Amino acid sequence: MKFAEVAILLREIADRCPSLEGATITLIPQKAIYPHYQGYHINIKGNLNRESQGGLRKIVEGHDLLMQIKADAVIVYESRPT
């Protein structure tokens, strides 16, 4: 995702997912993981219950993005190079 897209997505997450308040959100350059990609992944660490994961999933899918759920974090990313 480009930086401007990240800003729009983060605003929507802040507005529609109040249960994520207190979570740590970091941007990871995509090229750190995939050398041919540009832009950023969003890493969200915190206590994400099923409700907050469901709300986040709706937002992510609405932007044609993917999310990977790990034990202590969720990563939001694009599936294609930008």
**Per-domain residue ranges of the chain:** 3-77
Vertex 68 angle, CA 13 and 3, to 5°: 50
Please give the single-letter amino acid code of residue 20: L
* Residue 47 CA: distances (Å) to CA of 18, 19, 21, 71, 76: 12, 9, 10, 10, 16
- Percent of all residues in the chain with a pLDDT value above 70, rounded to a whole number: 93
Q: Which fold has domain 3-77?
A: Hypothetical Protein Ta0175; Chain: A, domain 2 (3.90.1070)
CA distance 42 to 78: 10
* pLDDT tens for each residue of 14-30: 999 988 888 999 999 88
Q: What is the pLDDT of residues 43-60, one digit of tens each?
A: 999 878 888 889 999 999
SS3 56: helix
